[in-house]
């Protein structure tokens, strides 16, 4: 498994979140992509799975509203 492969899977996760897909739509959750179906070593599958989730999670956190800004505005107005 190369670092390029992991970065590619992170980018796929980021793009999925940008497109509005939920994490439950992870492409490696499909039965035909599981290690026993593809013959891929389970540890490689897990690394790609985790990389996609990491990318998806990073993008998701960037899209969450920043409540600290609202709190600062309320405090400064009071």
Q: Is 55 exposed, middle or buried, given 0-12, 13-18 or 19+ CB atoms closer than 10 A? A: buried
What is the per-residue pLDDT across 37-52, written as a single tens digit (0 to 9) for each? 999 999 999 999 999 9
pLDDT for the residue numbered 64: 79
- Give the number of domains in the chain: 1
The domain containing residue 67 runs over which residues?
A: 3-77
Q: How distant, in Å, are the alpha carbons of 18, 25, 26 from that of 29?
A: 19, 7, 6
What is the per-residue pLDDT across 19-72, written as a single tens digit (0 to 9) for each? 999 999 999 999 999 999 999 999 999 999 999 999 999 999 988 776 565 565
pLDDT for the residue numbered 46: 98
* Helix, strand, coil share of the chain (percent; to 5): 80, 0, 20
pTM for the full model? 0.81
């Amino acid at each position: 498994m190369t670092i390029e492969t992991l970065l590619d899977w992170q980018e796929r996760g980021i793009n999925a979140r940008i497109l509005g897909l939920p994490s439950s739509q992870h492409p490696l959750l499909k039965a035909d992509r599981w290690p026993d179906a593809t013959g891929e070593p389970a540890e490689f599958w897990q690394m790609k799975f985790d990389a996609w989730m990491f990318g998806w999670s990073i993008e998701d956190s960037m899209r969450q509203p920043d409540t600290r800004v609202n709190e600062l505005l309320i405090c400064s107005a009071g």
